[in-house]
Amino acid sequence: MRNLVDKLELNRTLTKQEFITLIDNRNEELSEYLFEKSRKIAHKYFGNRIYTRGLIEFTNHCKNNCYYCGIRAENNKVERYRLTKEDILECCETGYELGFRTFVLQGGEDLYYSDDTITDIIREIKSRFADCALTLSIGERSYEAYSMFFNAGVDRYLLRHETATESHYRKLHPDKMSLTNRKQCLRNLKEIGYQVGTGFMVGSPFQTTENIAEDLKFIEELSPNMIGIGPFIPHCDTPFRNESKGTLELTTFLIAILRLMIPNALIPSTTALGTIDACGREKGILAGANVVMPNLSPVSVRKKYALYDSKICTGEEAAECRFCLQNRMKRIGYELVIDRGDFKAIE
Ligand code: SAH
């Protein structure tokens, strides 16, 4: 199997069948071999510097019904909330003082925030925090909306494809939703000029190794600037409440593969990874991730943005989260930096 890792390192790709073979034959020793390489590559591009993004979960209203997600429309146990523009700006203010230079506005697909409302919020953030990057993660919108947001100053957009296989997509989403449209949105975002992030859940219900290989091939074809993957974790009030969660071991293995595929990609070590293992985020970094995304949402709403059960960091203030992560990174030899942390092309 080491020869496949070497080949991946050299060519930055494998065939779909080779990806399947590599993933299905992984073991601890192979993972260590892979992680040594992925860490080295991350180090070559980023040194021991870890970028931070301040995550602002500004609404948990959602019109969609993804079977895996805790804030799906049909979950009537969720206490719904929306942050006002002023609330959001306050989060940014706190974040700025703590050294964040990227803000990520994430939410359910909530049309209460019209394209114009979102644009207005963007303009305000970009005028008050001119040296900060702004990332949106609000799902699928029209080409025109994406253009408008970009022209108002948004730098980046996160939209995980969730799974690149049509038949698997159908098992995770109701008929109303469409993988074709999701992929089209990603292409639109790229064409408009955003730094684009995609990704998928690891260990989502019905996922096969072949599905994962297709995710990797899709990512190769799209060539995104950011790649977010994290373990699927069941939520007790969703149809997938009894499904099992994804593993740390497979998630870190895939982070390392992605690092070899796209050496300069911005890859977060996600909160979901920190949720399934007390040192999950550290292990993600040691597998080649280079970004962390602590929560900047007001503590009063944190617990309500529950995409999955037992989410960590829902009780702490932003500052506590920041310093906790800073210490965690320090202990493994990395430092959180005050930097926009933009994607840089390989020279
Ligand atoms: N509405 C936005 C933001 C979605 S939330 C959008 O459609 O892009 C961000 C990510 O959380 C999702 O893309 C999904 O991959 C992940 N997520 C949702 N439910 C999850 C669960 N139960 N376990 C782990 N990750 C989950």
Q: Whose CA is nearest to atom 12 of ligand 1?
A: 160
| pLDDT score, position 316 | 87
d(CA 53, CA 338): 10
Global pTM value: 0.98
Are 55 and 27 in contact by the 8 Å Cβ rule? The answer is: no
Q: Which pair of tokens denotes residue 210? A: 């072949």
- Angle between helices 85-97 and 318-331 in degrees, nearest 10: 40
Q: CA 116, CA 256: separation in Å to the nearest integer?
A: 40
Separation in Å, CA 286 to CA 14, 45, 216, 266, 281: 23, 14, 20, 14, 9
* pLDDT, tens digit only, all 347 positions of the chain: 999 999 999 999 999 999 999 999 999 999 999 999 999 999 999 999 999 999 999 999 999 999 999 999 999 999 999 999 999 999 999 999 999 999 999 999 999 999 999 999 999 999 999 999 999 999 999 999 999 999 999 999 999 999 999 999 999 999 999 999 999 999 999 999 999 999 999 999 999 999 999 999 999 999 999 999 999 999 999 999 999 999 999 999 999 999 999 999 999 999 999 999 999 999 999 999 999 999 999 999 999 999 999 999 999 899 899 999 999 999 999 999 999 999 999 87
Structure-block tokens of residue 80: 């719904």
Nearest CA to 50 out of 341, 271, 346 is that of 341
Residue with tokens 């190769």: 220
User: Largest Cα–Cα distance of the chain, in whole Å?
Assistant: 55
Measure the CA–CA gap between 172 and 322, rounded to whole angstroms. 33
State how far the Cα of 138 lies from the Cα of 321, in Å rounded to an integer: 23
DSSP characters for 29-87? Answer: HHHHHHHHHHHHHHHHHHTTEEEE-EEEEEE---S---TT-TT-TT-TTS---B--HHH
57 Cβ below 6 A of ligand 1: no
Report CA(229)–ligand 1 centroid distance (Å). 10
Tokens in use for 155?
A: 């730098």
Mutation test of ligand 1: which of 57, 68, 242, 310 has the most ligand atoms closer than 8 Å to its C-beta? Answer: 68
End-to-end Cα, the chain, rounded Å? 31
Query: Is there an atom of ligand 1 within 6 Å of 232 CB?
Result: yes
CA distance linking residue 303 with residue 300, whole number of Å: 8
Q: What is the pLDDT of residue 347?
A: 79
CB neighbours of 16 closer than 8 A, spacing ≥ 6? Answer: 210, 213, 214, 217
Type of residue at 248: L
Q: Which of 69, 140, 243 to mutate to test the pocket of ligand 1 (most atoms within 8 A of CB)?
A: 69
135 bridge partner residues: 104, 156
Sheet holding 291-292, edge to edge: 291-292, 49-52, 335-337
Of all protein residues, the one whose alpha carbon is nearest to atom 10 of ligand 1 is 160
